[in-house]
């Protein structure tokens, strides 16, 4: 299903007119290099892996993953065509081969058991609960048994300051979409979606609140994570 318009999804900075400012804003305020390389490290990709970045935006994480391990088959999917234009342009300029696709996370256009790894950064807080549940089900479906889901997104604040700093994000992106993040409910939702060995792998303080790292496994056929 092709996304119709931004009524189907929340654009990166809520209003499409702000899209050109996305990359500089994230680089300046979110310790982007630190957290995206940490997420890449946690995903533990190996040559030959098929890797999907859901809500890939302008493609920074996908590009850094492909640069770090050129022998992976990297795919990025996002609902917003304007973000994908930027992602494709960046990948072309840098000279990395990544498949960028347009689509909704709740209806991934991939066959069952396609990917060894699924990664996602700053994405889940853009979804209402029902979309989160559909997205987790889709991620589980397209992940191979034995595969891993690795996520970096807003998490339960680690202290009062982090809680206060997250308020502007909630005002901007919406309280209903962000409440599962701030309540620390993502791990529970991953488990409900069939994932096992769900763990919070750490958090990072930013000027917009606590970023949390999550890791979840799909059991292999013989029962291993």
**Cβ of 216: how many Cβ atoms within 10 Å?**
27
Name the residue nearer to ligand SAM (CB basis): 67 or 159: 67
Task: Give the shortest CB-106-to-ligand SAM separation in angstroms.
Answer: 6
Residue 11 binding ligand SAM, by CB under 6 A: yes
User: For the chain, first and last CA: distance in Å?
Assistant: 31
Q: What beta strand segments (E) does 21-114 contain?
A: 50-54, 73-78, 99-102
Residue 69 binding ligand SAM, by CB under 6 A: no
Stretch that binds ligand SAM, among 115-123, 160-168, 177-185, 216-224 (CB under 6 A): 115-123
Edge to edge, the sheet with strand 99-102 lists 99-102, 73-78, 50-54, 115-121, 143-154, 209-217, 196-206
- One of 43, 83, 118, 148 touching ligand SAM (CB under 6 A): 83
Question: How far apart (Å, rounded) are the C-alpha atoms in residues 138 and 49?
Answer: 19
Residue 78 binding ligand SAM, by CB under 6 A: yes
Residue 121 binding ligand SAM, by CB under 6 A: yes
Question: How far apart (Å, rounded) are the C-alpha atoms in residues 145 and 163?
Answer: 36
**Cβ of 146: how many Cβ atoms within 10 Å?**
15
Residue 123 binding ligand SAM, by CB under 6 A: yes
Kindly state the tokens that stand for 208.
């917009």
Residue 80 binding ligand SAM, by CB under 6 A: yes
Q: How many residues bind ligand SAM (CB under 6 A)?
A: 22
- One of 60, 75, 181, 203 touching ligand SAM (CB under 6 A): 60
- One of 49, 90, 126, 144 touching ligand SAM (CB under 6 A): 126
Residue 90 binding ligand SAM, by CB under 6 A: no
- One of 43, 50, 52, 61 touching ligand SAM (CB under 6 A): 61
* Radius of gyration for the alpha carbons in the chain, expressed in angstroms and rounded: 16
Which stretch of DSSP H or E encloses residue 60? helix 60-68
**Residue numbers at the binding site for ligand SAM (CB under 6 A):** 9-12, 26, 55-57, 60-61, 78-80, 83, 104-106, 121-123, 126, 131
């Amino acid at each position: 299903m092709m996304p119709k318009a931004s009524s189907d999804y929340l654009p990166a900075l809520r209003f499409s007119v702000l899209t050109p400012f996305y990359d500089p804003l994230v680089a300046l305020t979110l310790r982007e290099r630190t957290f995206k390389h940490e997420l890449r490290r946690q995903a533990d990709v190996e040559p030959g892996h098929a890797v999907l970045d859901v809500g890939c935006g302008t493609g920074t994480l996908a590009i850094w993953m492909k640069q770090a391990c050129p022998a992976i088959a990297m795919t990025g999917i996002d609902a917003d065509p304007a973000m994908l234009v930027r992602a494709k342009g960046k990948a072309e300029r840098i000279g990395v081969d990544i498949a960028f696709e347009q689509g909704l996370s709740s209806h991934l256009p991939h066959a069952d058991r396609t990917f060894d790894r699924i990664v996602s950064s700053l994405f889940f807080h853009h979804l209402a609960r029902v979309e989160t549940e559909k997205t987790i089900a889709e991620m589980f479906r397209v992940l191979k048994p034995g595969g891993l889901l690795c996520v970096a997104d807003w998490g339960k604040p680690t202290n009062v300051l982090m809680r206060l700093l997250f308020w502007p994000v909630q005002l901007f992106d919406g309280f209903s979409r962000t409440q599962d993040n701030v309540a620390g409910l993502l791990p529970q939702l991953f488990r409900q979606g069939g994932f096992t060995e769900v763990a919070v792998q750490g958090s990072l303080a930013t000027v917009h609140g606590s970023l949390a790292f999550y890791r979840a496994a799909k059991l292999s056929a013989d029962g291993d994570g």
